[in-house]
Every structure is written in structure tokens, then in C-alpha cells.
Amino acid sequence: MSVRYIFNSSGEYVAFVDNGNIYNPNSVWLGVIENGNEVYNTGGLYIGTVMSDDRIVRNKSFQFVKRIPIPRRPLLTPFRPIRPFKRLLMPKLFGPYEDVFEGQKLPVRKLVPKSELRDFGYLLGAELIASDETFLGEISLVPMSEKSITNRFNKYGNEYSAISIFNQYGNYGSEYSALSPNNEYATNPPRIEREGEVLGYLSVNTLIPNRVDTNDFLAWLNLVQSATI
């Protein structure tokens, strides 16, 4: 399989392009490539441009959102390609330009233009509680907090931790686990709670009442977190 690897400015492998489609490293479909190098998400909204150095860059001062007709999901999901080696740090982007993937919690599951992001700031300070009552961390933008899900070094934000929603193989992050917010069929996803009040349920299952979409939430969290770094 011949693919093009996409990296962020830190040299991390973040996505790959195959037959005009872009996927995250786990082969989750993120969108399409049009006009040679323009990236559009699964809803047909412009995300950025693939550069010659294999980064996807956008002009953050550009207010108008370009659209294409909603692209058709590929019939077949490609196999995950061999993971490439990490690259060296890339040159800093200047002016209004920014790396779409830089600073984001990986792997990214949804590409969202800034103008379309929902604001989940009202959830800051709330806690994630699994349906089996396991504490999954606090929604916080303080990366060094011992309870924050944005802390990559604690048990709640580390992608290898057994109780992290970012562990794609764990009970609380897998696409197949009944306890995970990433399982589109799970009926008992984690609840978002503050001082005993349930603010919603983190889930990709569209049938869940009072649902906070996992992908939309993580897209917002990634963006606001990278803005504070």
C-alpha cells in the first residue's frame, strides 16, 4: 500500500493519506483531499492545506469557511500502514499560519474548523465518571494537575493507562468496550458530573439523551489546550 504520511511540527506521525482520503493512524476516516492539497473533513468543511513538508497548515485569520459537497465515506477501511519513525522538529510557522495537528491529543478522531467548534467551556472543572463508578479524571486545561485528563503523564491523560479515555485498547477508551465514550453502540457511557449534578454523558452514540459528543468535545479540548501551551 502506497500512502503519504502526515506529521505535526513536533515530528509526530498524526495521519496518512490513501486514495484521496485522510485517516488517523488507526485508520479512522477524517476526510478527503481535494484540488491536490486541500483538506476537507467528513462534513465537507475546509480544514487546511497539505504542505510539501507533510504538515497540514491553516490560516487562523481566515474567517470564511470553504465547503464542498459532503464527501462519501470510503467503502473499505484501509489497513493501518507501517508506523513511520518520528521526524525531527520542523521549522516554526509564522504570521497567521498554524499547524492543524500541533499540540493535539493523539490520535485525532475528528477534524473541525475553528468556526464550527462548539464551546464546552461550561464543563471545565467537571469530572468524568464511568458507569461502573470508576473515576476517569477531571476536565481541566491545567496540564500538570494530577487529576486532569489533559495531563499526559498521569493515569487519566496517559494513552497507555488502564483508566484513560485515550487508551484505545482499554475498557474506558476502546471502540468496543461497553464502558467507553468511543463505542457508538454503548448505552452506559461515562457521565460528566460536577458536585453531584450530571451535566451530560460523553458518547459517540447518537441515541444517548443529554449527550456530549466525544469527538466534538475532544476537538474543542485539543484546540483550547494547544492555545494555552
pLDDT in tens, 78-129: 999 999 999 999 998 888 888 988 877 778 888 877 666 788 999 999 999 9
Residue 212 has pLDDT above 60, yes or no: yes
C-alpha cell read off for 17: 493519506
C-alpha cell read off for 37: 492539497
Q: Stretch 182-209: mean pLDDT, rounded? A: 94
> Residue 21 — φ and ψ, nearest 5°?
-115, 150
In angstroms, rounded to a whole number, what is the distance separating the alpha carbons of residues 53 and 7? 8
What mean pLDDT value characterizes the chain?
Answer: 90
In angstroms, rounded to a whole number, what is the distance separating the alpha carbons of residues 152 and 140? 12
Task: Report the pLDDT value the prediction gives residue 179, as an integer from 0 to 100.
Answer: 96
Task: Report the pLDDT value the prediction gives residue 95, as an integer from 0 to 100.
Answer: 82
pLDDT category of residue 134 using cuts at 50, 70 and 90: very high
Give pLDDT tens digits for 145-156.
Answer: 999 998 989 999
Residue 227 has pLDDT above 60, yes or no: no
Q: Stretch 181-208: mean pLDDT, rounded? A: 94
Q: Stretch 148-167: mean pLDDT, rounded? A: 92
In angstroms, rounded to a whole number, what is the distance separating the alpha carbons of residues 186 and 206? 10
Contact 141, 150 (CB under 8 A): yes
Q: Stretch 124-136: mean pLDDT, rounded? A: 96
The 10 Å Cβ neighbour count of residue 4 is 13
Task: Report the pLDDT value the prediction gives residue 115, as an integer from 0 to 100.
Answer: 66
Lowest model confidence (mean pLDDT) among 5-9, 115-119, 207-211, 215-219: 115-119
pLDDT category of residue 1 using cuts at 50, 70 and 90: low
In angstroms, rounded to a whole number, what is the distance separating the alpha carbons of residues 145 and 136? 14
Q: Are strands 197-203 and 211-213 parallel, antiparallel or unpaired?
A: parallel
Task: Report the pLDDT value the prediction gives residue 110, as an integer from 0 to 100.
Answer: 84
Q: What is the 3-state secondary structure (H, E, C) of the chain?
A: CCCEEEECCCCCEEEEEECCEEECCCCCEEEEEECCCEEEECCCEEEEEECCCCCEEEECCCCCCCECCCCCCCCCCCCCCCCCCCCCCCCCCCCCEEECCCCCCCCCCCCCCHHHCCCCHHHCCCEEECCCCCEEEECCCCCCCCCECCCCCCCCCCCCCCCCCCCCCCCCCCCCCCCCCCCCCCCCCCEEEECCEEEEEEECCCCCCCEEEHHHHHHHHHHHHHHHC
Residue 31 has pLDDT above 90, yes or no: yes
Contact 15, 6 (CB under 8 A): yes
How much of the chain exceeds pLDDT 90, in percent? 65
Residue 73 has pLDDT above 90, yes or no: yes
Residue 6 has pLDDT above 70, yes or no: yes
Q: Stretch 166-178: mean pLDDT, rounded? A: 91
In angstroms, rounded to a whole number, what is the distance separating the alpha carbons of residues 18 and 28? 12
